[in-house]
Amino acid sequence: MNDPVLAERAKVADLVSKGMRLGTALYVIASVVFFIGFMTGFTGTMVTLIVGMLILGSALLAPALVFHYGVKAANRADRNDDW
């Protein structure tokens, strides 16, 4: 059974998974750098790094979450056959 819709959905789910992992990792790194800066004193480079990682993490994580719920809903609709 080679369903092109399921194949495309699997590709989207893979990209979503990678986007969620990378976005979350950027948030974690930004948090670690923040606490290091909090303990030692913030430098301009640290602040730029923290803000950049939060912006990039948000840019990756927000659409990944939306598509994640879309893929879940499509899988549920297929399973329940309630399109």
Task: Based on DSSP, count helices (H) and strands (E) in the chain, helices before strands.
Answer: 2, 0
> What pLDDT does residue 41 have?
95
Q: Tens place of pLDDT for every residue, the chain, 83 residues?
A: 588 988 999 999 999 999 999 999 999 999 999 999 999 999 999 999 999 999 999 999 999 999 999 999 999 998 888 87
> What pLDDT does residue 3 have?
86
Q: What is the pTM of this model?
A: 0.83
What letter represents residue 19's amino acid? G
Domain ranges of the chain: 16-71
